[in-house]
């Protein structure tokens, strides 16, 4: 991916992340627990059936940093970003 082309790969990814509750709970309390929803923004590097790779930054040497690996099965939304576009709202 060339530096000048990078704006074409900017995305907002909505995804579910695991959440850990260490306390003791009864069934009613467990039913009230919810998944953690995230919205990540960045350059879409790659995606396959297992993992989607997102980078927060890219430099003029075509190197990336702040890489996030998201389990593809946890994604509920991928939206291409353009200047002036709205970031999708969290899924209820």
Q: What is the CA radius of gyration of the chain?
A: 16
Using 70 as the pLDDT threshold, list the residues of the chain that sit under it. 1-8, 84-92
Name the CATH topology of 3-80: SH3 type barrels. (2.30.30)
Nearest by Cα to 78 from 10, 17, 19: 10
pLDDT in tens, 60-76: 888 999 999 999 999 99
85: helix, coil or strand? Answer: coil
Q: Where are the domains of the chain?
A: 3-80
Q: How confident is the model at residue 82, as a pLDDT?
A: 80
Q: Return the DSSP state at 57.
A: E
């Amino acid at each position: 991916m060339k530096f000048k082309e990078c704006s074409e790969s900017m995305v907002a990814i909505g995804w579910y992340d695991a959440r850990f509750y260490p306390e003791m709970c009864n069934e009613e309390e467990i039913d009230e627990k919810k998944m953690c929803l995230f919205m990540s923004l960045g350059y879409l590097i790659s995606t396959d059936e297992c993992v989607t790779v997102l980078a927060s930054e890219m430099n003029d040497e075509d190197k990336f940093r702040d890489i996030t690996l998201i389990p593809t099965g946890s994604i509920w939304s991928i939206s291409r970003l353009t200047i002036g576009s709205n970031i999708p709202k969290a899924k209820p």
